Structure 1
Amino acid sequence: MTSEMFFEDFILGTERETVGRTITETDVVLHAGQTGDFYPHHMDAEWCKTQPFGQRMAHGTLVFSVAVGMTAGAINPRAMSYGYDRLRFVRPVFLNDTIHVRVFIRELRDDAKRPAHGIVVEGLEVKNQRGETVLVAEHLLLVERKLTRV
């Protein structure tokens, strides 16, 4: 699916929300294998019972990756991801928690290096099934302008 939007088409404050996705044991095991992060916080149920949270938690990088994937919908040929800023793991996500993502246009700004583009800053708030924020980040998009800024 393609959705063509130029920088001027983005509206400050516009928001959207994804459907939910449950983080499973399979997700955690696959992520550990892909990253080499086999810390007991993620892999050792018995050890986790002795810790403050009392149970295993998903990797923060897993939650981030899944959340980013959930926000990727239509392909915009006028934009590309320019990176992520201000990423924070606010609360743990436990196995079998269901997350969803609220995305909102936080900022629209010029790009000093590329006058033919602007930067769209999307705020991301990842929430669990209880409505608690578990992760926040800013997604920067480099977006082509309709008219080049002088």
Structure 2
Amino acid sequence: MTAATRRVTGQGDVYWEDLSLDERVTGPGITITDSHLVQWAGLTGDWVSLHLDAQYAATLPFGERIAHGPLTMSLSLGLLTQTGIFGNVSAWLGVDQVRALRPVLIGDTIHPEARLVLSRETKRPNVGIWSFDYQTLNQHDEVVMTFTGSFMVSRRATTSVDSASISPNGARA
């Protein structure tokens, strides 16, 4: 089943074995509104004036309010789940190398793209590890954020991986 024909069900049909290294996944977009900034501030307690005070933000280098960096990252993670590939994730392991490269402004439309950069077995035969390099792009196809996200993913119960397909560092060839 291709990404274009996947249905969002909350339970995925994609297992650890189903993705190949360098495979790319693109999530849908969302247009950032004032409501996103206010709700994020209320949820997290991040009431920094750069995000919420138009008068103050106008005096800063970007000249207007910008979205919270962690909001941009969270939206990227969440939007990619809509592709259906994470229904068999049993644990989110974290993010690394987060970089905010450009501001995300109210009215910008962002979407995530991710490339599978690590797929390795674990000591447990029923799970594997995926790591994706994420890029969050705006409506001008400018990269606004990058990070790496890692996940523990269920394996198919009947799968046995040929050891010849595993590289010395544990990644699938």
Q: Normalized per residue, which structure has more strand?
A: 1
How many pairs were matched up?
149
Letter in 2 for 1:89: A
Q: Secondary structure at the match of 2:98?
A: strand
1:138 Cα deviation (Å)? 1.3
Pairing 1:102–2:93 present: no
- Calculate the TM-score normalised by the size of structure 2: 0.76
Instruction: Tell me the distance in 1 between the aligned counterparts of 2:52 and 2:44.
Output: 13
Correspondence for 1:123: 133
Corresponding residue for residue 31 of structure 1:
40
Q: Deviations over 1:61-88 (max 9, x none)?
A: 1111111111112253365422222222
Matched, 1:138 2:153: no
| Structure 1 segment 1-150 matched on structure 2, within 5 A | 1=9, 2-73=11-82, 74=84, 76-77=87-88, 79-111=90-122, 113-145=123-155, 146-147=159-160
4+ long deviations beyond 6 Å: none
Return 11-20 or 139-148, whichever deviates more: 139-148
What's the offset of the Cα at 1:14?
1.2
In the alignment, structure 2 segments of 5+ residues that lack a partner are 1-8, 164-173
SS where residue 56 of structure 1 aligns? Answer: coil
**What's the TM-score once normalised by structure 1's chain length?**
0.87
Note the aligned Cα RMSD (angstroms).
Answer: 2.2
CA distance in 2, matches of 1:18, 1:94: 19
